[in-house]
Chains A and B, each alone.
Chain A
Amino acid sequence: MAQAAPPRISPFYDPRWRSIAFQVLLCAAIVWLAYSAVNNAAENLQRARIASGFDFWNSTAGFDISQHLIPYTAQSTYGRAFWVGLLNTLLVSFLGIVFATIIGFIIGILQLSKNVLVSKLAAGYVEVIRNLPLLLQLLFWYNAVLKALPVLRDSISIPGGMLLNNRGLFLPKPIAGPGFEAVPIALLLGIAGAIAYHRYARRRQELTGQQAPVFTVGTLLVLGLPLAAFALAGFPMTFDFPEMGRFNIRGGVEILPEFAALLFGLSIYTAAFIAEVVRAGIQSVSHGQTEAAYSLGLRPGPTLRLIVVPQAMRVIIPPLTNQYLNLTKNSSLAVAIGYPDLVQVFTGTVLNQTGQAVEVVAITMAVYLTISLVTSGLMNLYNRRIALVER
């Protein structure tokens, strides 16, 4: 039987035509918006006599930065200032992530404690910290706590040769003596040995079923070898202790109060979020898993290590990555307390001096975007590796 020809519909009601027309309209609108923005920007910049382009990158910055991990003076270029700011951002983010993870995991596990007092305290910490703006917490740590410390003359000395005052925390600076090179070599050897032992123990367990004390031996190798090397070389290390001068402190390592406040605030704030992530992750592993492990004869330690944690990590990793990225992005609040991070140095001072808003803001955004995309890309890879293998 011949099939009836499909009824002709007018293009106005044809979903395919409609969708194409809509997309063309949208693209046209976006192109028009971008075109007029660029046009206006060119006109406005010309009127304000601001050069465009990246020529400013190599001109002299002319301002000082209080904390620089790479050599930097007021005679350095804007480009150099950018790298100083970026490194400071990365430093505070990295340390913040380490501390926030440690505090967050502890609080998250305490929240699940059977001890009512402990779990309520941990829950209270999470509730209070999560409900206060980070900026308020940073200002509090900086202005009300660290800036309220005694002045230089009345510095508090902490045992171990440390000095604390409102200009920062001054730590003894370790100086490696001759023969110190043996220690890092011993450390590398120790790590290699621990990995080798772990492999050996695994193979032996698969073959014979016998377990080996991997953790104890590994710790001994990683910590013991460098210590032994250090002792054998005759303790080749001296300390440069901070000394109080008339107007400032000489020697030692200085930790700026801005840095300390930012690190403190970021770690404590993000830890509250990580604690929730950890709690939810552990609770997501059904109790039957634990019971099954017990009935197979596993003791509580291995049950946690082999059954609960691997399954919980699967739930924890994605939101944990989000929190790490949030911490990195939140480190831009440094600008409020004057820590020289990327935003403070580059989007703050450099932008004000050069007036090249478009280039400076674009570079800053590109940096954060790159950090975000790279981190989430890496985490996706890791996530794929540990994800549940289903049929």
Chain B
Amino acid sequence: MGDGRFVRTETVPAMPPPGRDRALVGWLREHLFSGPLNIGLTLLSLLVLWWLIPPLLNFLILDAVWTGDDRAACIASPERPRVGACWAFVIERINFFIYGFYPAEERWRVDLFFALLAIGIVWLLASWAPNKRLGAIYFFIVLPIVSVMLLLGFAPFGLSYVATSLWGGVLVTVVVSAVGIVFSLPLGILLALGRRSTMPAVRLFSIIFIEFVRGVPLITVLFMASVMLPLFVPESWSPDKLLRALVGVALFAAAYMAEVVRAGLQAIPRGQYEGAQALGLSYWQMMGLIVLPQALRITIPNIVNSNIALFKDTTLVFIVGIFDFLRTIEAARIDPKWATPVTSTTGYAFAAIFYFLCCWMMSRYAKSVERRLATGYRR
């Protein structure tokens, strides 16, 4: 005793837990204000946000005009000095944006087509939907035939003929992307198999086709389809303008899809091929039953990403004179009836929201599949 040792005889009272705002302050300090550079970056970001968010909010919602019959509603006046987006223009033209010049009394056919397409997409993509094989038959075989009869007209069912020159707007955008997706997947799989084939002629042909198409811009492919295709077929065929663009888009998308599928095929270990061969399966049995189901499963995210690119690229049919969604916006925004300083921006904002929502949903889906597939590798 008394030699300088100290032994505590009672427990120390627990320290108070870190207060909520102390935690918040700590978090803020660590993430936003940890040094001079970080403080500068934070202030800069705040500046960007301040410079971005309020004007956008004002333009899109607070100052926007929602009702009106013509340009007078969206012109700045003394009692309304600031005019934001002219949504009245979009609301008045919405049917044009969706259907183009499709006859008004036949538009239910377009609506039905959208519904059938939506069923097909949900059937194929949703994880809870049963019987995918039937869904694939529906999407890749039944749907295309029914859609052609529905949209173009089919006399035995009393559906009158609607020329493709009358189609327009979202309808054309959806048709072009759907055709691109429906045809590019099977063609892409064939090309990918061809590129990995042991037959030199098949491999050479696949490589030339894939590298050629991937090496040139889509516009030149579309130009080729629209000005050269009519030359290459007998004059009596004279393919429809939309059909020519569809051929161009499908071939273009197939080359990109082929590379996506090839990446998937390469990821399948050799043992799977050899196992299938050891069991005596033929080439198509090996591919169809063993390799492709595994390869396609892991490539779903990349297939969806490639479809997002395709969906964005469909806007280029605009340049060969097809009335897709973006073209209807272009046509409507220069209409003198709605000529105001904000009309163009409003039209583009509407198009941007449409394309963003579609692409964003697709990329969300791709991410969710990726998460679902990654379970085996997650630590």
**B202 with A40: CB separation less than 8 A:** no
A347-B223 in contact (CB<8A): yes
The answer to whether A183 has its CB under 8 Å from any CB of chain B is no
Which residue on A lies nearest to B44, using beta carbons?
A118
Give 25 pairs: A residue, B residue, CB < 8 Å, sorted on A.
A23-B200, A37-B233, A40-B232, A41-B231, A44-B235, A114-B34, A115-B38, A115-B42, A115-B45, A116-B31, A117-B49, A121-B49, A127-B360, A131-B356, A132-B359, A133-B326, A139-B330, A143-B333, A144-B348, A329-B218, A347-B220, A358-B228, A364-B223, A369-B215, A372-B215
A136 near B227 with CB under 8 A, answer no
Assess whether A387 is interfacial by the CB under 8 Å rule. no
Given A140-B352, A364-B216, 9 more contacts at CB 8 Å?
A26-B201, A30-B205, A115-B31, A128-B356, A335-B219, A347-B223, A364-B220, A368-B217, A369-B212
The 4 A-B residue pairs with the shortest CB-CB distance, nearest first, are A131-B359, A372-B215, A329-B217, A23-B201
Contact check: which of A135, A148, A332, A358 meets B217 at CB < 8 Å?
Answer: A332
The answer to whether B312 has its CB under 8 Å from any CB of chain A is yes
Q: Which residue of A43, A127, A136 contacts B315 across the interface (Cβ within 8 Å)?
A: A136
How many chain-B residues does the 8 Å CB contact rule pick out?
57
Contact present for A357 and B201 (CB under 8 Å)? no
- Name the B residues within 8 Å of A23 (CB-CB): 199-202
Closest to B230 in A: A44
Taking the complex as formed, is A330 at the interface, i.e. its CB lies under 8 A from any CB of chain B?
A: yes
Distance in angstroms from A322 CB to nearest chain B CB is 10
Chain B interface residues toward A at CB < 8 A: 30-32, 34, 38, 41-42, 44-46, 48-49, 198-202, 205, 212, 214-220, 223-224, 227-228, 230-235, 308, 312-313, 315-316, 318-319, 326, 330, 333, 341, 344-345, 348, 351-352, 355-356, 359-360, 363
Instruction: Check B199–A365 contact: CB distance below 8 A.
Output: no
Residues from chain B with a CB closer than 8 A to the CB of A372 are 214-216
Contact between B42 and A118, CB atoms less than 8 A apart = yes
From 31 to 90 in chain A, residues with beta carbon under 8 angstroms from any chain B beta carbon are: 37, 40-41, 43-45, 47
Tell me, rounded to whole Å, the shortest Cβ–Cβ distance linking A140 to chain B: 5
Among B42, B202, B220, B348, contact of A140 (Cβ-Cβ < 8 Å): B348
Interface membership of A249, Cβ < 8 A: no
A110 to B333, CA, bound (A): 37
Contacts of A289 in B (CB 8 A): none
* Residues of B close to A364: CB separation below 8 A: 216, 220, 223
Residue of B212, B218, B228, B313 with most chain A CB atoms under a 10 A cut-off: B228
| A132 vs B341: C-alpha distance when bound (angstroms) | 23
Question: What residues on B are CB-neighbors of A40 within 8 Å?
Answer: 231-235
B326 near A139: Cβ-Cβ < 8 Å: yes
**Max chain B Cβ within 10 angstroms of own Cβ: one of A118, A131, A333, A364:** A131
Q: Is the CB of B32 within 8 A of A117?
A: yes
- Complex-state Cα separation, A47 to B49, whole angstroms: 63
Question: From A129, which residue of chain B is reached at the shortest CB distance?
Answer: B356
Encode A228-265 as 1/0 by CB contact (under 8 A) with B: 00000000000000000000000000000000000000
